[in-house]
Chains A and B, each alone.
Chain A
Amino acid sequence: MRIIVCIKQILDPRGLTVNRKAEKVFVNREEYLIDPASKAALEAAESFKGANAEVIAISIGPARVDEALREAMARGADRSILIRSDEPLDAFVVANLLAAAIDKIGDVDLVLCGDRSLDTACGEVAPRLAEALNLPSILNAAKIEIKEDSLTATVRQSGFLNVESKLPAVVAIMAEAFTGKHASAWRLIDAYKKWSVETWSTSDFGLSAEDLHPLATKKEVAFPPERQFGTQVKNAKELMMMLKRERIMSNE
C-alpha cells in the first residue's frame, strides 16, 4: 500500500511578535516547523507502517523545506519529495502540483493532508486535491483504519461520527489528533546522514501556466485593535457577545 502525506512548512509563531499599535509583525527568530496538522497526518500514516505500507512525504516550497522533509522521514516517511517553488502559492496551485505529483508517482491508495494549517487555516488543500484527483474526501478526521480496499474514519462534527469510503481517498487529519510523539533519535540521525530528499521541479509535470498561477493572493496584513485591559462586563450574556465579536466562539 502506498500512502502520500502532504507536508506544509510554516514559520514558527513563537518567533513572532505582533505589535498591534505599530501594525507590524516582528520576526525575532526566523525558524520553521512542520505545520501541526501535517504532523498529525504523518503520525496517522506511520500507524500503518507495519502493514506493508510505503509512506511518501511531499511538500511544495523553497529549499528550506528540505528540513521539514527530513523530519518527516525521521517521523516515519520512507521517501520524501520536495517540489521546489520559490513563487507565491495558493491552495489552487498547491492542489494542482500535488495532484500532478501523485499521478506521476502512481498506484497511490491513500492521500493524507492536515485539515487546516496553523498559519492560514484555510483548509482548502485536501478538498481541492480530492477534486483534482477525482477522489472522495474525508475532512476533520481524528482517526483512520484501513480494511483491505476501504477505509473507516472517525470525524468530528458536533460530536464524533464514523464514516466509510473506498480507497483511494483523500483524508484530512486534524491537528488535535496528534498524540505528541517524538521522532525516533536514530531515524533523525539517519534522515540527515544517510537519506536524501528527492527534489522535483514545478515544470516536471506538464502543467499549464494557468495551473501554476495563484487565484487568491495576499495584498497586505492588517491588525486587530489594541487590547483594552480591564474592560468591565456586566454578565454572561454580554461576555458571550464580546467573545463572538472577538471571534473566539466562531469556530464552534
Chain B
Amino acid sequence: MTRLTFSDAPHDIWIVAETIDGQLTPLTKELTYGARMSADMMGFYVKVALLGSNVSELAAELFPVGADRVYVIDDARLKDFSSDMWTQALSDLFAAQSPEFVLFGATSIGAAIAPRLAQRFGAGLISNCISLKIDDFDRCFIGRRNVYGDEYYEVMSTAGSKSHFATVLPDTFGEPYPDASRSGEVENIEVDLNQIVERVKSLGSTPYELPHKKLKQARRIVSVGRQVGDVEVAKSLAQSLRAEFAGARESIDEGYIDEDRVIGITGERVAPELYIALGIRGDTQHLFGMKDARYVVAVYPESDAPMLKHADAAIVDDPAKVAKELMQLLHK
C-alpha cells in the first residue's frame, strides 16, 4: 500500500468534481464553496480534480465558488463514469500531488471511488457526512454521520491518518455565494489510461422490481384517508418516493386500500423514516399505528384534524393538490 506523505507546509483541500449532462453538479459547487470557507481559516488552497470528456470549459465556473486551481483530466475514456478508469486517473493525480484533505460527493460515484482510493492510499474516510470541518489542532476531518437512519449521529474523526477523505451529502455547507471577481489557474493533466480496462461492463437499463416490502419494514409510507381527494395521485406519489402505500381504516370502504394495508390499532404498527398522511383525520386508533414514524407529514383540508398536531410538517390544504405539486418538485 502506498501511503501519501506530506511536507509540513500549508496544504490544500481537494474536491473531486462530478458532472451531469455536461454541467457541474450543484453538489460539486457546494463542496468547493464549503472547502473555501475552511481553507480561508486554515490558509489552504482549494483544488479541484475535474474528470470527464470535454469538461475543460467548466473549470471557469469553479473559481467564483472558491477554487484556486483546477486540475483537468480530459479524456474520451472518462466520458461515462467508470470505476476503474476514474480510480486510476485520480490515483495517478493523488500520487503526484499528495492531497491531504479530499472531499467527494456522497453520490454513487463517491461511494464507488472514495473507499477504493482511501484503501489504496491508507487514508481515513468519513462517509455520508452531514456536517464536516477540519480540526486545526489534530489536523484531521471531524464529520457527523447518521446512525440507524436518522435517529442520532456519530461524530467521526480521522485523527492519526496521514490523509483525510470524506464523502459529503448535499446541503451540508449550504448554497454557495459566488464571487465573480475570483480567479484561478487551470492545469491540464495527462494520465495514461491505456493499460486500464474497465472490469465492469454496462449492458444497459432493464426493468426490475424489488421484492414487495411488508409495511412493517417500509422506510417510507404514503398513507391515505377518506379526504385524500384523488387516490391515484397519492399512489403515483408513493411510487415516485419508492414508498409503500397504505391507509386509514375508512379507506377500505372507499376502495383505496385492501385490509392488509390498514395502519392503526386494528392494522399494522409501523415505524418508517417518512410517513405522509394524505387526508387522514388522525383518530387515536390510527395514530397508535404510526406514532413511531421518524418524520410525519400531514395534509388535511380542515385545520382541526388531530393528524396535523401529530405531524412534524402540517399543511392545511387539498391533499391531492399538494401531492401533485410534491411530485413535480421531485421530478425536477
Contact = CB atoms under 8 A, between A and B. Distances in A.
Contact of A177 (B108, B210, B309): B210
A123 B111 contact: yes
Interface string B186-213: 0000000000000111111111101101
Given A16-B151, A224-B150, A250-B169, A219 B156 contact: yes
B170 interface: yes
A176 interface: yes
B302 interface: no
B interface residue count range (under 10 / 10 to 19 / 20 to 34 / 35 or more): 35 or more
A215 interface: yes
A233 interface: yes
29 contacts: A13-B151, A16-B148, A91-B125, A95-B119, A119-B148, A123-B111, A127-B116, A128-B116, A137-B83, A137-B112, A142-B208, A157-B205, A159-B205, A160-B206, A161-B204, A169-B199, A176-B211, A176-B213, A180-B217, A215-B125, A216-B156, A217-B156, A218-B157, A219-B156, A236-B329, A240-B326, A243-B295, A250-B130, A250-B170
Given A119-B148, A164-B200, A247-B146, A131 B115 contact: yes
Interface of B: 83-84, 106, 108, 111-113, 115-116, 118-120, 122-128, 130, 142, 144-148, 150-161, 169-171, 199-208, 210-211, 213-214, 217, 273-274, 295, 297, 308-317, 322, 325-326, 328-330
B278 to A, nearest CB: 12
B155 A215 contact: no
Contacts of A227: 312
Contact of B152 (A142, A152, A169, A222): A222
B206 A154 contact: yes
Nearest to A250: B169
A86 B3 CA distance: 26
Contacts of A246: 150, 295, 312
Contacts of A223: 152-153
**Interface on chain A toward B: helix, strand, loop, or mixed SS?**
mixed
A54 interface: no
Nearest to A245: B171
Contacts of A230: 308-311, 314
Given A123-B111, A139-B112, A230-B309, A237 B325 contact: yes
Contact of B315 (A90, A169, A213, A239): A239
A219 to B, nearest CB: 5
Contact of B201 (A154, A165, A242, A244): A165
Interface in A152-175: 152, 154, 157, 159-166, 169
B170 A136 contact: no
B196 to A, nearest CB: 12
Contacts of B153: 221-224
Given A121-B128, A139-B111, A215-B123, A152 B316 contact: no
B147 A120 contact: yes
Nearest to A126: B115
Nearest to A127: B115
B299 to A, nearest CB: 9
A90, A159, A236, A243 — which one has the most chain B CB atoms within 10 A of its CB? A236
A218 B111 contact: no
A176 B210 contact: yes
A91 B150 CA distance: 20
A247 B317 contact: no
A233 B314 contact: yes
A52 interface: no
A178 B210 CA distance: 9
A221 B152 contact: yes
Interface in A86-138: 90-92, 95, 118-128, 130-132, 136-138
B209 to A, nearest CB: 9
Contact of B210 (A142, A220, A247): A142
A104 B303 CA distance: 66
A132 B201 contact: no
Nearest to B171: A244
A161 B202 CA distance: 7
Nearest to B142: A219
A152 to B, nearest CB: 7
B326 A236 contact: yes
B322 A239 contact: yes
Contacts of B205: 157, 159-162
